[in-house]
Amino acid sequence: MLHAITRAVSPAIVDCELTHLERTPIDLEVARSQHAAYEATIADLGARVQQLPAEPDLPDSVFVEDVAVVLDEVAIITRPGAASRRGERTTIEEALAPHRHLARIGTPGTLDGGDVLVTGRDIAIGISSRSDLEGIEQFRAIAVRHGYRVHAIRVRGCLHLKSAVASVDDDTLLLDPDRIRPDDLPNRRCLTVDPREPDAANVLQLDGTVVAAAAFPRTVDKLADAGHDVRVVEVSELAKAEGALTCCSLLIDVPQP
């Protein structure tokens, strides 16, 4: 069974970190209702959703993906690159502890889960403004013990690696070729986003369905034409906080009770 940890949108989201976007007003109520629709979609696709309470003092805390990477064998608690996000770890550790042995990225390394793309036993990690070589080496030391191969890829022109590439099924990636070279991610079939929608790559794959953002209809059509079952969700207010679909959940395979 798939367990999904989410967190309610913080009332402080208007003060979120921004790296590549200009600050524009975020409607908190709309953000909350879009987030609720996202949770309903992943629940409808079979995930058991555990929503953590909102964190009034942690603006980016809805983006739970950045704080941990959950592998079958271990959950790696990250050390987010933005200092303002490090307080998000305590409650995520508590939520993950019943499901996985925990390991941690420590000082001085930094790593955001949004930079970590797991495809089978291969893990690509973006070297970005949030994830540095020290954090990646610490991650590698943990992951290789469990039989994973870790590859570092330089991220250009976006916040995280998964801003520009994500999985649409076990063998196929969706990417923006202007920011990620398919050669950087060997042994995978690559679909490309519509060139007018460079930010469309961050989709969430869940039980054979691809959850995609409503802002990118041309890429949604491309995915459907390629034979993928696509569900569309509106996340425009969360996108203003430089977050996307994978950011809003931590997915954990758990044994059936």
Confirm whether 190 is a catalytic residue.
no
Q: Report whether 191 contacts 180 (CB < 8 A).
A: no
Tell me how far, at minimum, the Cβ of 44 lies from ligand GLY, in Å: 26
Strand partners, 32: none
How far does the chain reach from its first CA to its final CA, in angstroms? 9
- Is there binding between residue 16 and ligand GLY (CB under 6 A)? yes
Tell me how far, at minimum, the Cβ of 66 lies from ligand GLY, in Å: 6
Q: Which listed residue (109, 113, 198, 243) binds ligand GLY by CB under 6 A?
A: 243
Q: Cα–chain-centroid distance for residue 203? A: 9
- Is there binding between residue 17 and ligand GLY (CB under 6 A)? yes
Q: Which listed residue (78, 242, 250, 252) binds ligand GLY by CB under 6 A?
A: 242
Confirm whether 160 is a catalytic residue.
yes
Find the catalytic residue in 16, 158, 247, 248: 247
Q: Which is nearer to ligand GLY, 166 or 223 (CB)?
A: 166
Q: Which listed residue (2, 14, 54, 82) binds ligand GLY by CB under 6 A?
A: 82
Residues in touch with ligand GLY (CB under 6 A): 16-17, 19, 60, 63, 66, 82, 241-243
